[in-house]
């Protein structure tokens, strides 16, 4: 069964072709980061227009890369939320067009659920239950996945996403957008104990807050403009990673889960990849990191989620799908 996946919820235009829910025949991603770099963040209207410009060609390219024709598509999966309403609409309109033209079902996908499917694609033999840590530029949440198709959000940020907190301080340092990868590199030459940044809300609970930490970095730079950039990056990242690792391990222990699956752009962070497995393994908890290409926004995870929703959950699909910019993962199926 060939599933076409389309993802346009933020600043990546992505199209994928997936066979039988697990074999990726094509997974093409066009990133708009160059377009948004000058704003230091995603400009929604520019994003919509760029998706519109890029998506038709990318659909053709994906089919060619997969070596299939339009007639072989059996199902179309598309992200309908959460995300930016304009960009979502562009992807959904194209997806509906393909579904009508090919006379196949259109299945809407929750972008956050799709992120978790990176694990199903990379480790199909390791089934839930597990704790998902979704950590990207737009989202930071902890979710219990008892089985595929069932999601219970147990914690998350109350303000900025972890990636957003990195990007905003990185912008101040002139590291470009998104700043996370560059900050990661610079941190290698820095001392993570150089600056005693706070660890907001680390003492208890499963919720997080990164806005105060970001403000602490802003004040530090204002008061000590000569601070070594690598030291600042290393110390700031250490605080973010410390909070993420502490909360994820706490959630897994509290809920008696023996596996944590980390997805989203920040999952690429070198320090998070060191600290989290270390702390989790001490407690008998394993950590899975899908490959980076599946962790960041892409459409193979959308196709995988749509395939599961259609074939396993029995969702029939619907053409009158509406975008839902604030779609929650809690209880979504």
Closer residue to Zn ion, CB minimum distance, 168 or 250: 168
Residue 69 vs residues 63, 74, 156: alpha-carbon distances, Å: 6, 11, 42
* Segment interacting with Zn ion (CB under 5 A) among 117-125, 136-144, 182-190, 313-321: 136-144
Instruction: Tell the smallest beta-carbon distance from residue 100 to ligand KG4 (Å).
Output: 29
Among 296, 305, 308, 323, indicate the residue that binds ligand KG4 (CB under 6 A).
Answer: 296
Among 92, 179, 276, 321, indicate the residue that binds ligand KG4 (CB under 6 A).
Answer: 179
Among 67, 50, 248, 242, which Cα is nearest to 143's?
248
Cis-peptide, bond into residue 82, ω within 30° of zero: yes
**Nearest residue (beta carbon) to Zn ion:** 297
* Segment interacting with Zn ion (CB under 5 A) among 16-24, 130-138, 146-154, 272-280: 130-138
Among 12, 184, 231, 297, indicate the residue that binds Zn ion (CB under 5 A).
Answer: 297
Element (H, E) at 107: strand 106-110
Closer residue to ligand KG4, CB minimum distance, 137 or 290: 137
The values of phi and psi at residue 319, to 5°, are -80, -20
245 touches ligand KG4 (CB under 6 A): no
4 touches which of Zn ion, ligand KG4, none (CB within 5 to 8 A by kind)?
none
* Segment interacting with ligand KG4 (CB under 6 A) among 152-160, 163-171, 202-210, 223-231: 163-171
Round to whole Å and give the CA distance between 277 and 158: 25
The values of phi and psi at residue 184, to 5°, are -60, -45
Ranges within 125-154 binding ligand KG4 (CB under 6 A): 136-138
Number of residues that bind ligand KG4 (CB under 6 A): 19
Q: What is the DSSP track for 211-254?
A: HHHHHHHHHHHHH-TT--HHHHHHHHHHHHHHHHHHHHHHHHHH
Among 3, 54, 58, which Cα is nearest to 25's?
3
Residue 46 vs residues 35, 38, 163: alpha-carbon distances, Å: 8, 12, 21
The values of phi and psi at residue 259, to 5°, are -145, 140
Among 269, 275, 301, 321, indicate the residue that binds ligand KG4 (CB under 6 A).
Answer: 269
Round to whole Å and give the CA distance between 273 and 323: 34
265 touches which of ligand KG4, Zn ion, none (CB within 5 to 8 A by kind)?
ligand KG4
- Taking residues 218 to 237 in sequence order and writing x for each that binds Zn ion by CB under 5 A, - otherwise, the string is --------------------
Among 136, 157, 235, 288, indicate the residue that binds Zn ion (CB under 5 A).
Answer: 136
Contact set with ligand KG4 (CB under 6 A)? 10, 136-138, 163, 166-167, 178-181, 184, 264-266, 268-269, 296-297
């Amino acid at each position: 069964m060939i599933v076409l996946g389309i993802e346009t919820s933020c600043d990546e235009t992505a199209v994928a072709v997936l066979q039988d829910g697990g074999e990726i025949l094509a997974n093409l991603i066009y990133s708009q980061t160059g377009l948004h770099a000058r704003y230091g963040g995603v400009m929604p209207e520019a994003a919509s227009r760029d998706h519109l410009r890029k998506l038709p060609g990318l659909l053709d390219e994906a089919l060619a890369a997969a070596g299939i024709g339009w007639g072989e598509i059996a199902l179309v999966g598309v992200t309908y939320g959460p995300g930016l309403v304009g960009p979502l609409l562009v992807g959904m309109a194209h997806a509906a067009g393909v579904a009508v033209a090919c006379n196949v079902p259109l299945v809407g996908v929750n972008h956050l659920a799709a992120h978790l499917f990176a694990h199903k694609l990379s480790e199909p033999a390791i089934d839930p239950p597990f704790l998902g840590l979704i950590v990207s530029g737009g989202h930071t949440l902890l979710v219990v996945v008892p089985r595929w198709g069932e999601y219970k959000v147990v914690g998350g940020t109350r303000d900025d996403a972890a990636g957003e907190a990195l990007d905003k301080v990185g912008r101040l340092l002139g590291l470009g957008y998104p700043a996370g990868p560059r900050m990661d590199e610079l941190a290698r030459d820095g001392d993570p104990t150089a600056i005693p940044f706070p660890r907001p809300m680390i003492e208890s609970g499963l919720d997080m807050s990164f806005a105060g930490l970001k403000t602490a970095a802003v004040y530090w730079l204002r008061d000590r403009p000569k601070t070594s950039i690598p030291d600042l990056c290393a110390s700031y990242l250490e605080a973010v990673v410390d909070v993420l690792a502490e909360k994820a391990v706490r959630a897994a222990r509290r809920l008696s889960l023996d596996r944590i699956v980390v997805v989203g752009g920040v999952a690429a962070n070198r320090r998070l990849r060191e600290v989290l497995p270390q702390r989790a393994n001490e407690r008998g908890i394993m950590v899975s990191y899908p490959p980076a290409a599946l962790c960041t926004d892409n459409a193979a995870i959308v196709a995988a989620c749509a395939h599961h929703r259609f074939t396993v959950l029995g969702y029939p699909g619907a053409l009158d799908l509406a975008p839902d910019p604030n779609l929650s993962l809690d209880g979504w199926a």
